[in-house]
Amino acid sequence: MRRFHWLVPLTALGALAFLYVPLMAVAVFSVNNSRFGLSWQGFTLKWYAKLFANEQILEAAWNTLVLATVSTVIATVIGTILAIGLDRYPWPKRLFSALDINLHLPVVTPEIVFAAALAVAFGVLRLVFSIFEPGLLNMIIGHITFQVSFVALVVRARLEAISKDYEEAARDLYADNAYLLRRVMLPLLKPGIVGGAMLAFTLSLDDFVVSFFTAGPTSVTLPLYIYAIVRRGVTPEIHALSTLALTATVVLVMLSERFTRKQNKE
């Protein structure tokens, strides 16, 4: 067997170090007894205790969870329907290509452009409906607009791996559309739906740009709070908050991967 040059594994390790060493440093500083400076002065959890005693952070965490949960549920439903409709309905070729391009646009469009467009759209809607003032409603709608594409793409990938023989067999047994969707399609799509939902939830937790353009004074999320605090200087509480956010993201990704592997084995 041909062996790789020694530079290949060295480059891979260097890339991993470049990605994860800063994250590990943040985690280490979150349990460092020193408030200022880089010197190690002993292990402590007092920064986490102060973090959970900070009402502003708790309010931002609540807003973040509400925003991510509501937008993910709605985006998962819409994204799943969109994926099934695109993949199973006999669209004309040109129309299907146009719809496929539109589905990918939120994924490839620079987020700053996307957020600015949302701000303009909400500004126009406010001329007609007063409910579109900057706040949690605008943030939920803004997050749904980019989450739908990610959910739909993940579910479509799962759809392509499912043979249409299952649907034809169900049709031969006189299954109607509702029964086919409920008892055949959705159980087979469950790994893709769960994976897309977790991806959408993670993206919402970490989003800053769209939230920044649509947030109101009472709808500050954790990314917005961290940005505002870091401008005045990085504190150990921010290290602790960042570590918790990173841990939550890693746990979600691991659960999604484990669930998908388990469903694929079944």
Residue 124 token pair: 């126009």
Residue 165: partners with Cβ closer than 8 Å, 6 or more residues away: none
**Residue 214: predicted pLDDT:** 93
The rounded distance, in Å, linking the Cα atoms of 68 and 39 is 37
The rounded distance, in Å, linking the Cα atoms of 141 and 143 is 6
Question: Does the pLDDT value for residue 169 go beyond 90?
Answer: no
Question: Does the pLDDT value for residue 117 go beyond 80?
Answer: yes
pLDDT per residue over 131-147, tens digit each?
899 999 999 999 999 99
Residue type (1 letter), 155: V
Closest CA to 208 of 244, 247, 245, 239: 245
**Residue 118: predicted pLDDT:** 93
The rounded distance, in Å, linking the Cα atoms of 209 and 82 is 25
Name the CA radius of gyration of the chain, rounded.
Answer: 23
How far separated are the first and last CA of the chain, in Å rounded?
34
Question: Does the pLDDT value for residue 1 go beyond 60?
Answer: no
Q: Helix 111-126 vs helix 136-160: angle between axes, to the nearest 10 degrees?
A: 130
> What are the chain's domains?
21-28+43-265 (1.10.3720.10)
The rounded distance, in Å, linking the Cα atoms of 145 and 138 is 11
Mean predicted lDDT score pLDDT of the chain: 85
**Highest-confidence range of 10-14, 81-85, 232-236, 251-255, by mean pLDDT?**
81-85
Using pLDDT thresholds of 50, 70 and 90, give the confidence band for residue 262: low
Using pLDDT thresholds of 50, 70 and 90, give the confidence band for residue 11: confident
**Residue 149: predicted pLDDT:** 93
pLDDT per residue over 40-76, tens digit each?
888 888 888 888 888 888 899 899 999 999 999 999 9
**Residue 191: predicted pLDDT:** 83
DSSP the chain: -PPPPTHHHHHHHHHHHHHHHHHHHHHHHTTBS-SSSS----B--HHHHHHHH-HHHHHHHHHHHHHHHHHHHHHHHHHHHHHHHHHHS---HHHHHHHHHHHHHHHHS-HHHHHHHHHHHHHHHHTT-GGGSSSHHHHHHHHHHHHHHHHHHHHHHHHHTS-THHHHHHHHTT--HHHHIIIIIHHHHHHHHHHHHHHHHHHHHH--HHHHHH--TT---HHHHHHHHHTT---HHHHHHHHHHHHHHHHHHHHHHHHHHHHHH-
**Residue 91: predicted pLDDT:** 86
